[in-house]
Amino acid sequence: MKAIVFEEFGSELVLKEAEVAAPKAAKGEVLIRIAHTSINPVDWKIREGFLKGMFPHVFPIIPGWDAAGVIEAVGEGVTSFGPGDEVYAYTRLPEVRWGTYAEFIALPESSVAKKPKSITSTIAAGVPLVGLTAFQSINKIAKVRAGERVLITGGSGGVGSYAIQFAKVAGAIVVATAGSNNQGYLKELGATHAVDYTKGTLVEAARAVAPEGFDVVFDTIGGETLALASTLLKPGGRVVSISETPKNGTFHFVYPSGAELSEIAKLIDEGKVRPAETTVRSVREAAAAQVESRSRHVRGKVVLAINF
C-alpha cells in the first residue's frame, strides 16, 4: 500500500511517500480502507521524538491516529462489523508504527465505531481523537454537571471545539478562550462567553461569570495559560489538563474507545453536537499540514484525503 512514512526523528523533511506492506486483520481485528485521516499535534510531536519515552517506536513509522473509511476485511471472531461498513476510529496502538497517513490500517474491533450517518467521511475523520479527548475529559474525568461554570482554554482548537459542546450538552455555563479571529467561532460552538486571550481580560470575565470561581477548568494549552486558569477555580473545583500535569488536578491522555465514539456519533446525528470547522488537504500535503498544526493556530480540524 502507499503511505507517508519517516525513518528517523526530525523536521517535516523526514516525511516521505513510500510503498509498504499492508497490515492484515488478525483475530479480533478489522482492516479499514482509509478514505480520510486528520492532523493532530501529536503527529508532529511523535515525528520530533517527544513521545519516545512513552511508547515503543518501530521505524519506519506511519504517522496519524485518526481514520474514517470502509471495512475491507474482518479477522476471526469479529462480530460488530462486516466488509463495506463505514466506520471511524482513534487508531492509537500499543507501539508507534502503523498510522493512518496510509491506505489501510488493522485495528482491534473495540477501537472502531460506525461513522455518524449525518456527516461525510471527510468530516468524520476529524472527529475521533479530539472528540474522544473532549468527551473523556468533560464527561468521564471532570464529570461536568448541569449549572456548573466551566472554563475551557483553547476553545477554537480541535479538542476545544468539542469540549465546549460537550460541556453545553451537560448543561454547563461555558467560558472559552481563543485569539481575536476566533471569538465568533467560540460563540457559534455555544460558548456562553468568549474571551480573547490576547487582550488579558480573562480575570475580568471570570469575575463577571463565575464570581465564586469556576467549578471546572479544562485546559488544552498548558504553561502560563493553565497557571492563570487554575487561579480562577472555586475551592474544591476540578482542573483537567491534556497538556501537562496540573498542580492540583488531573492530566488526561486519551484512550481509544469504539463505544464512546458511538455515543459521539449519536450526539452528532441527533444534532446536539456539530463537527468542528474542517479544512481538507491531500495526504501529499501532510508535511505542510503538520507545519501549520505546529503553529498552534489552526481553527477546528485539518483533514487529509488519502488520494495518493
Contact call for residue 253 and ligand NAP (CB under 6 A) = yes
Select the residue interacting with ligand NAP from 34, 142, 178, 194 (CB under 6 A). 178
Select the residue interacting with ligand NAP from 10, 77, 181, 200 (CB under 6 A). 181
Contact call for residue 245 and ligand NAP (CB under 6 A) = no
Residue closer to ligand NAP by CB (options 6, 65) is 65
Contact 20, 92 (CB under 8 A): no
Contact call for residue 257 and ligand NAP (CB under 6 A) = no
State the nearest-atom distance from the C-beta of 210 to ligand NAP, in Å.
Answer: 18
Select the residue interacting with ligand NAP from 116, 131, 154, 275 (CB under 6 A). 154
Select the residue interacting with ligand NAP from 23, 99, 158, 275 (CB under 6 A). 158
Considering only CA atoms, which of 52, 46, 48 is closest in space to residue 64?
Answer: 46
Contact 303, 280 (CB under 8 A): yes
Contact call for residue 153 and ligand NAP (CB under 6 A) = yes
Select the residue interacting with ligand NAP from 91, 225, 257, 278 (CB under 6 A). 225
Cα dist from 227 to 73, 132, 193, whole Å:
48, 25, 20
User: In the window 81-120, what residues touch ligand NAP (CB under 6 A)?
Assistant: none
Contact call for residue 254 and ligand NAP (CB under 6 A) = yes
- State the CB neighbour count (10 A cutoff) for residue 251: 15
Which residues are CB-neighbours of 305 under 8 A, at least 6 positions away?
35, 36, 122, 280, 281, 282, 283
Contact call for residue 159 and ligand NAP (CB under 6 A) = yes
Count of alpha carbons within 13 Å of 253, Cβ hemisphere only?
7
Query: Distance between CA atoms of 121 and 117, rounded to whole angstroms?
Result: 9
Contact call for residue 128 and ligand NAP (CB under 6 A) = no
Q: Cα angle vertex 249, ends 248, 250, to 5°?
A: 150
State the nearest-atom distance from the C-beta of 147 to ligand NAP, in Å.
Answer: 25
Contact call for residue 220 and ligand NAP (CB under 6 A) = yes
Residue with cell 460537550: 166
Contact 193, 177 (CB under 8 A): no
- Name residue 2's beta-bridge partners: 19
Binding site for ligand NAP (CB under 6 A): 40-42, 130, 133, 153-154, 156-160, 177-179, 181-182, 197, 220-221, 225, 242-243, 252-254, 293, 296-299
